Structure 1
Amino acid sequence: MRGAEALVGSLTAAGVDVCFMNPGTSEMHFVQALDAVPEMRGVLALFEGVATGAADAYARIAGKPAAVLLHLGPGLGNGLANLHNARRAGTPLLCVVGGHATDHVRFDAPLESDITAVARTVSGWVHTSGDVRDVAADAMRALAATGERGGQVATLVLPADVSWSEGASPAPPLPAAGPFPPDPSRVAAAADAVRAPGATLLLGGPALSAAGVDAAGRIAAATGTRLLVETFPRCWETGAGRTRIDKLAYFAEQAIAQLDGTSSLVLAGARSPVSFFGYPGVPGDLVPEGAAVVGLADPATDATAALEALADAVAGDADPALAPHEAPEPAPGALDVRGLCAAVAATLPQDAIVVDEALTAAASLAMSLQTAPRHTQIALTGGAIGMGLPAAVGAAVAAPDRPVVAVQADGSALYTAQALWTMARERLDVTVVLINNAAYSILRVELARTGAGEAAHSGRAGRMLDLSDPTPDFTALATGLGVPAERVTTTEGLLDALRRAQAEPGPHLVEAIVPALG
């Protein structure tokens, strides 16, 4: 048996039956193995950043490791931004990178590079398979490593000759590394903290399961503890019928105001909050001066179990305050960001998956979705933009019975617009709401906040933050990639377009024209 066939067969036997890919010459035997092992579904992406972003979201929604196949060092480099997001999300992701045949490396061919060095920037585990007899076992070690540290990227470099050589045999899966159980001493310390006035409980990562959110709601109901969710949650069960929780604001000044008065900050699956960037005169550490930071559960710990233990300790039979279903349609008229977000909430199907790369519209979207029908949100955990459209692909592949709604800013959509083609090819049930304001609006805001100057729309600096002249035509772009699309300029037009899109199978894009900020 060839190495690639043994590797792919071992993966499917271990439950990994989808691989997102953008292969090249060194991966041809892996591709051929898809015929020999029909249990593996290959999903082709036209750009490596689409493949890696899709794999990230697939694992977040499916609750199991994802696989991605990339071509040599440059292919890995092209996929790096969304592997960075996966690393920050704690996503269990197996990244297989094809390498040159072992005896070809000495020639320093044009595509030769230090794959291991590149991989280590985003991977917690890296290994090069050196013998066809070990390749399947190496894959199982890599797969097991994805579950360590609460979830991580594990990169297996697969030289072409190891892939094509005979002499391999399948390998059994290794025991999965699960999260650490809650630490009773940390639960006790958190209980003392939330019983005292001024406690804030910050939820993130694995704490945002349905059970974790419900437990946090019980704690808040019994103790008066304030609840917050990290700014960019990896996978958050929310909406009507769940505990209503605000997100920690993106802008440091707003986050500082939210945390004002906090005497103890209890972390459940979240890191201690810091500002995304450094600004003149603004603290980078967002924890209020004098506040105690209490670690209930780090991202490698079973945060849901820790929250349930804390709730049992302090909340008794308290019932959480659940968000009502209140998602009224916006008033008719010219479309703006608030009307757009209200329209998304008003038309959101029950149990949808919402992919949030709304950027400057994200705060408004979060408010609107709090009382929308129950749903799952995934967001831009690492801040490397271009995640939204690929994530919608991965989420739809992971949950084909659930509608996916991607709320997508225009500038970041252009990083990975090729994902639309994969949506069309795979006939995925994705509705993309493309927010077109013809600008990098977030950067216009940041220009002023960093003290660099005002966001003049004319002039050389302003031109670097502007997406007009020409303005991208996303309706034409989507149609050209096989996704039906239409453009709207009013709230009533958006409501109608969203309902049409969600009533028909397959992907759709609605290009919503809104004014730019800044």
Structure 2
Amino acid sequence: MNGAESLVATLVESGVEVCFANPGTSELHLVAALDRVPGMRCVLCLFEGGATGAADAYARMTGKPAAVLLHLGPGLANGWANLHNARRAHAPVINVVGEHATYHMEFDAPLTSDIQSVAGGVSAHVETVATAAELGAAGARAVAAARSGMGQIATVIVHADAAWTDGGVKAPPVAPEPPAPVPEDRIDAAVAALEAGNAMILAGNLAVRKEALILAAAIAAKTGARIATIGRNPRLERGAGTARTERLPNPAGPQTKALKDIRNLILVGETDPVAFFGHPDRPSRTTSPECAILQLADIHDDALGALKALAGRVGATAADAPLEPHDPPALPEGKLTPDTVAAVVGALLPENAVVADESITVGRSMFAATRAAAPHDWIHLTGGAIGAGIPMATGAAVACPGRKVINLQADGSGMYTLQALWTQAREDLDVLTIVWSNRTYKILKDELANVGLPNPGPTALGMLDLGNPPLDWPSLARGMGVEGRRVDTVEAFIDAFRDFVEVKGPRLIEVAL
């Protein structure tokens, strides 16, 4: 057994079932090992950002670690933006990054780089392996690190001669660190905060899974507190039968308004709410200066256990939680607008769908229109690094065969990683991509006034324009092996949505707004 085979065998033994790959020369022995060691599905991606984004969503939807095979430092760097999103999603992802043979390092070949530094910006665990004998054990440690707490990114950097040399040893799995229990004094503090009034429970990450969020909503209902989430959670179970909660808007101004009366904010699996960006003459925190902030459960803590304990203290049960009815919106008429497209999605969303959301500005109407739709999962853009939507949909479809995946996709960010459509076609994944084609970086146009530039000139506006020449998404999709259709009326969108939801395999609709 060579080192590469020992690594693959160890990953399989440790529960890693899928590898999203964009390999190069230094990784070819690892690629060959995928043939010789059974149990690992390998999914080819044409760009590293597609591989890392797919691994992120796969890990979110299964709770299992996903592997990514990348070529040296530049390959890791190409996948870094979606690893940033995966880090913010606390997804268990294991990067396997090739490195030059140990004896070749001194020659500073063209692709030599500081891989450790690149990996360190997103990884909780980084290990470089120089010998075959060490490779299996390093893989087991990486899986344990990735699975610790809610989940983390781990990176194993593999020198090529460690992969091709004999003497590899399959290592047994290493136990991860489970989510930490919450100390009793935090429960006491949360009870006091709820009794003080003007309180909000802000839930995120592990606390927005269905059982946990129902308990949080029950506690809020029992104590007169508000219950909310922020629209950047790794996986939110929602729709009919789930907890009815507020959603704090992402833009700083509306978020500040929503929080202005809160004097006791209880964080469960969340962090302090802050503005995405610093704006001139505006505070970074969106809570009132008079608001006391209490961390009941950190991101890697046992949020469900903490909520169970808190519910017991205040006398709340799941039956106290208000739940969403099944009450989807009526199909709309009129012009295509963010509101009408949201109503179409809410009305026609299939039961048990997975929604991968990178809608950006067009999607601001989407949450309200789908809250009482059929039960579904929603995966957000967690870290704000755009180019995640199409890869996330790809990974979710690998994770959830038998479930329709709906990708709500902004046109500008979709261009970052449209190569992932090819992977959807190659793997025959059941994904419907809906591109909101407003042919502009509208989010940046909205930000101009916020950063003190209310009267931009033609050069500045030109940098935000995607209409010269116009993007042709159906043609782009067909070039990747995916059937596409462009619609410019509500009626045509309804017909296309119905048609494509009924068939399996990848499809795309461009919605001209």
Q: Distance in 2 between matches of 1:427 and 1:182?
A: 44
* 1:252–1:282 contact (8 Å) kept in structure 2: no
1:441 aligns with 2:442: yes
* 2:263–2:291 contact (8 Å) kept in structure 1: yes
Q: Distance in 1 between matches of 2:53 and 2:370?
A: 23
Distance verdict in 2 for CA 1:246–1:239, change over 3 Å: same
Equivalent position amino acid for 1:141 in 2: R
Distance verdict in 2 for CA 1:163–1:410, change over 3 Å: same
Distance verdict in 2 for CA 1:316–1:249, change over 3 Å: closer
- The more displaced of 36-45 and 176-185 is 176-185
CA-to-partner distance for each residue in 1:214-250, whole Å, 9 max, x for gaps?
A: 1012112211211110231111111111112222111
Give the 3-state SS of the residue equivalent to 1:20 in structure 2: strand
Q: Where does residue 60 of structure 1 map in the other structure?
A: 60
Offset at residue 496 of structure 1 (A): 1.2
CA-to-partner distance for each residue in 1:71-97, whole Å, 9 max, x for gaps?
A: 000000000000011111111111110
Q: Distance in 1 between matches of 2:100 and 2:383?
A: 31
Q: Distance in 2 between matches of 1:226 and 1:215?
A: 13
Please report the TM-score for the alignment, with normalisation by the length of structure 1. 0.97
Equivalent position amino acid for 1:166 in 2: D
Q: Where does residue 246 of structure 2 map in the other structure?
A: 246
RMSD: 1.2
Q: Distance in 1 between matches of 2:334 and 2:423?
A: 34
Q: Where does residue 283 of structure 1 map in the other structure?
A: 283
Q: Distance in 1 between matches of 2:215 and 2:509?
A: 37
Give the 3-state SS of the residue equivalent to 1:299 in structure 2: coil
Q: Where does residue 331 of structure 1 map in the other structure?
A: 332
Q: Where does residue 468 of structure 2 map in the other structure?
A: 469
Q: Where does residue 265 of structure 1 map in the other structure?
A: 265
Distance verdict in 2 for CA 1:309–1:362, change over 3 Å: farther
Equivalent position amino acid for 2:68 in 1: V
* Residue correspondence of structure 1 range 230-379 to structure 2 within 5 A: 230-317=230-317, 318-379=319-380
Q: Distance in 2 between matches of 1:378 and 1:328?
A: 21
* 2:338–2:363 contact (8 Å) kept in structure 1: no
How many residues matched? 512
CA-to-partner distance for each residue in 1:414-466, whole Å, 9 max, x for gaps?
A: 0000010001111111111110000000000001211123356xx11110000
Q: Where does residue 106 of structure 1 map in the other structure?
A: 106
Give the 3-state SS of the residue equivalent to 2:214 in structure 1: helix
* 1:234–1:379 contact (8 Å) kept in structure 2: yes
Offset at residue 66 of structure 1 (A): 1.3
CA-to-partner distance for each residue in 1:354-404, whole Å, 9 max, x for gaps?
A: 111000023211111211111111111110000111000111111112111
Distance verdict in 2 for CA 1:281–1:330, change over 3 Å: farther
Q: Distance in 2 between matches of 1:113 and 1:505?
A: 43
Q: Where does residue 384 of structure 2 map in the other structure?
A: 383
Q: Where does residue 417 of structure 1 map in the other structure?
A: 418
* 1:126–1:155 contact (8 Å) kept in structure 2: yes
Q: Where does residue 427 of structure 2 map in the other structure?
A: 426
Give the 3-state SS of the residue equivalent to 2:29 in structure 1: helix
Equivalent position amino acid for 1:111 in 2: L
Equivalent position amino acid for 1:406 in 2: N
Equivalent position amino acid for 2:103 in 1: D
Q: Where does residue 43 of structure 2 map in the other structure?
A: 43
- Give identity over the alignment, percent: 47
Equivalent position amino acid for 1:174 in 2: V
Q: Where does residue 219 of structure 1 map in the other structure?
A: 219
Q: Where does residue 120 of structure 1 map in the other structure?
A: 120
- The more displaced of 176-185 and 8-17 is 176-185
Q: Where does residue 83 of structure 2 map in the other structure?
A: 83
Give the 3-state SS of the residue equivalent to 2:423 in structure 1: helix
CA-to-partner distance for each residue in 1:122-180, whole Å, 9 max, x for gaps?
A: 11111101211010001001111112353211110011110111111211101122110
1:485 aligns with 2:473: no
Offset at residue 269 of structure 1 (A): 0.3
CA-to-partner distance for each residue in 1:232-273, whole Å, 9 max, x for gaps?
A: 111111111111222211111101110111110000000011
1:513 aligns with 2:501: no
- The more displaced of 240-249 and 260-269 is 240-249
Please report the TM-score for the alignment, with normalisation by the length of structure 2. 0.98
Offset at residue 306 of structure 1 (A): 1.3
Detail structure 1 runs of 4+ shifted over 4 Å in the superposition.
none
Q: Distance in 1 between matches of 2:98 and 2:296?
A: 41
> Which runs of 5 or more structure 1 residues have no equivalent in the other structure?
none
Q: Distance in 2 between matches of 1:361 and 1:253?
A: 18
* 2:146–2:153 contact (8 Å) kept in structure 1: yes
Equivalent position amino acid for 1:401 in 2: G
CA-to-partner distance for each residue in 1:446-499, whole Å, 9 max, x for gaps?
A: 01211123356xx11110000011011011001110111101111121111111
Give the 3-state SS of the residue equivalent to 1:67 in structure 2: strand
Q: Where does residue 150 of structure 1 map in the other structure?
A: 150
* 1:203–1:227 contact (8 Å) kept in structure 2: yes
